[in-house]
Structure 1
Amino acid sequence: MPFHLHFGEQDLLRCRFAVSPLWETQAAVRTLARPERHGYHLPWLRRIRGAADGIDLRPLWALMPESGHNPDFFCPPPQGPASTFEEEIALVRGTPVTTARDDIAAALADAPGGPDSPVGRALLKDPARTVQRLADLLEQAWHALVEPDWPRLRALLEADVAYHSRRLAEGGFERLVGELSPRLAWQDATLTIVGMRGDHVRVLGGQGLVLMPSVFSWPDVVSGYEPPWQPAVIYPARGIGGLWTRVADRTPDAVARLLGRVRADVLCALDEPAGTTGLAQRLLLAPSTVSAHLAVLRDAGLLTSRRYGHQVLYERTPLGMALAGSDPDNA
């Protein structure tokens, strides 16, 4: 059944983008239990397998049924465009007991075994303790599974936000919706999400909508969030195809001979806009080295730069795209 989110005039004015490390953490946990997602993240899976085996993720998986309700308090929509994991997990730990109990019960009702299973009874017996236990597990998962790669992930997510913010300014909300995912449609002030399990209708009522790109939810679109949470739509981030690959493997030899190997790798790594820290992490270089090469490439007219949030994002100019071997019309 499709989900329907009904907009009023004020809702369109209050749509915003956000990046959530907590969302990516719980989505990474979910990915471990979803073999159909493994193909997108094989290098990551091979690297974190030992760390994942050291965490008992079963209480989290028990509340992640493949169809039906998943707890909203796991990952409430971030309050700002770039909240830290510490800020987000603090909100989880502060979840009211009644809210947690209802959320847990709703998830267990859709899970195998239901609330009367041994794990279900254990989770419902003391909701306050359960919230802290789940927050502890999410924190362990963050440090072991996501934090080591967060500069790379954040760079891709922020590049997606920068790209779609520009597209929103150029074409408006209706055009943006069609570009986020083919499963999203806009008609008569209603955003429809096709292919969701269950039936969900919500009038936004002036709260607006949070739009969040996601790596580990790719290629799915996720939505929901019952009151008091702000409505949100999580959509597949752009550029995931090159996320885990070595940039050097994609740098043309001719470009390397012209610019030098390292500088050419920096240019060719910018399939999506990125900042110095994210590029350095991907290229296994010192940030100062990457910064120096970015400055040269920008001065040569191959890159442009603009500030987004806490960092400066670099992207290729049409000349830089042509040199790197990409099509400017499809960038």
Structure 2
Amino acid sequence: MPRLVFSGPDLGRVRFAVLPFQETLKAARGLGLLKPPAGLAAWRHARRAALPAAARPVVTLCSAHTWHLPDFLTPQPSTAPMSFEDELHAALDDPAAPVQRDTAAFAGVLATVPAVVETLLHHPERSRQALRHAFTAFHQAVLAADWPRLHAQLAADVAFRAGIAARHGMDAMLATLCPQHVRWEYPLLEFDGPGAPDFPLGGRGLVLVPSMFLTDGVHRQLNDRQQPMLFYPARTAAAFWRDGGAWPDGRLAGAVGERRAAALRALADRPGCGTTDLAAALGVTPATASTHVANLRRAGLVVTTRLARTARHELTPLGRHLLDTHIG
């Protein structure tokens, strides 16, 4: 199993990032793989019908290999929040990016090299412009309308893990990052994936990036020109897709109403409460409270975590913003 080797300074240089363009890459991968990642089958069925022809090269490129992409598509993330356009510009408009070299390395791990990769190899500048249009078409057709609720889940994941680090230390945060795929025992962070030599972080630290579409493992971005990155499944991804994250009625417009607003208020007053406690606060049955929570979760306003058989619910940043701005 691959392993990242930490030194003392690396622990102080671990940070998180929420990256919409990288999430676009993971979504395109989820659409193109022969076997859909866990939980994404319904979403994939719904979104394939809406995929424009202009976006198909993106799906082919991002699903050509289960675990790898050309490195230039994952540029160094800024410490400031980045929009989809910011990331797209950083990935495709940097004249110093080694597009041919990165694409050649990527082609070397493929059993079959698709036409989009061949074109990148032989006509890198023209291909980058074509990819810019293809990624924009894909994002608009597949991700843009759902991004607020997806972002809410990702931001909640970062806040949760930052809270663990603040209360219990970085060691505890890394140990609980993604137990099904990641194992931590200082100085080694071991994770599932294709075998590779140990990779010393060398004092550069690590960028941790949650994903709603990467439900089947972790991805890495390791090279000598930027801060190492590790992509991992967001802790609420399974519940989000199980609740019907593929369907339009889960979007924000369908989440507001008197009863759901009352549920938002109750959760704001009782962060981390269970379904039974919420039902008592609302004066409804647990089944009804569970339905309210599921609707809010589909809209990206609530996250649910489970400990044994107990479900705990809390507002996402988007949920708090909606409550503060429109409901009060």
After superposition, the Cα gap between the structure-2 partners of 1:15 and 1:26, relative to the gap in structure 1 and judged at 3 Å, is same
User: Which stretch of structure 1 is more off in the superposition, 198-207 or 137-146?
Assistant: 198-207
Residues 70 and 103, structure 2, Cα contact 8 Å, conserved in 1: yes
CA displacement at 1:280 relative to structure 2: 8.6
Aligned to 1:73: 72
After superposition, the Cα gap between the structure-2 partners of 1:293 and 1:54, relative to the gap in structure 1 and judged at 3 Å, is farther
1:113 and 1:210 mapped to 2: Cα distance?
A: 31
- Aligned partner letter, 1:138: F
CA displacement at 1:59 relative to structure 2: 5.8
Let me know the Cα RMSD of the aligned residues: 3.1
Alignment of 1:75-154 (within 5 A): 75-80=74-79, 82-96=81-95, 99-114=98-113, 119-154=116-151
CA displacement at 1:7 relative to structure 2: 1.8
CA displacement at 1:214 relative to structure 2: 0.5
2:276 and 2:24 mapped to 1: Cα distance?
A: 33
TM-score, length of structure 2 as denominator length: 0.74
Asked whether 1:219 is paired with 2:180, we answer no
Aligned to 1:250: none
After superposition, the Cα gap between the structure-2 partners of 1:120 and 1:320, relative to the gap in structure 1 and judged at 3 Å, is closer
Alignment of 1:233-312 (within 5 A): 233-244=230-241, 245=243, 281-282=251-252, 284-286=254-256, 293=262, 296-297=265-266, 302-304=267-269
Asked whether 1:162 is paired with 2:159, we answer yes
Residues 69 and 106, structure 1, Cα contact 8 Å, conserved in 2: no
CA displacement at 1:56 relative to structure 2: 4.4
- Specify which of 298, 311, 316 is matched with residue 271 of structure 2: 316
1:235 and 1:200 mapped to 2: Cα distance?
A: 20
**Which stretches in structure 2 are left out of the alignment for 5+ residues?**
280-285, 287-303, 313-328
CA displacement at 1:97 relative to structure 2: 5.3
CA displacement at 1:282 relative to structure 2: 4.5
After superposition, the Cα gap between the structure-2 partners of 1:88 and 1:231, relative to the gap in structure 1 and judged at 3 Å, is same
- Aligned partner letter, 1:15: V
CA displacement at 1:173 relative to structure 2: 2.3
2:37 and 2:127 mapped to 1: Cα distance?
A: 29
Query: Identity of paired residues, percent?
Result: 28
TM-score, length of structure 1 as denominator length: 0.73
1:59 and 1:43 mapped to 2: Cα distance?
A: 20
After superposition, the Cα gap between the structure-2 partners of 1:184 and 1:296, relative to the gap in structure 1 and judged at 3 Å, is closer
**What per-residue deviation string (whole Å, max 9, x for no partner) do you get for residues 95-142 of structure 1?**
33561111111111111334xx75544221121222222222222111
Aligned to 2:282: none
Residues 60 and 134, structure 1, Cα contact 8 Å, conserved in 2: no
Aligned to 2:46: 47
Residues 4 and 198, structure 2, Cα contact 8 Å, conserved in 1: yes
CA displacement at 1:211 relative to structure 2: 0.8
After superposition, the Cα gap between the structure-2 partners of 1:290 and 1:15, relative to the gap in structure 1 and judged at 3 Å, is farther
Aligned to 2:296: none
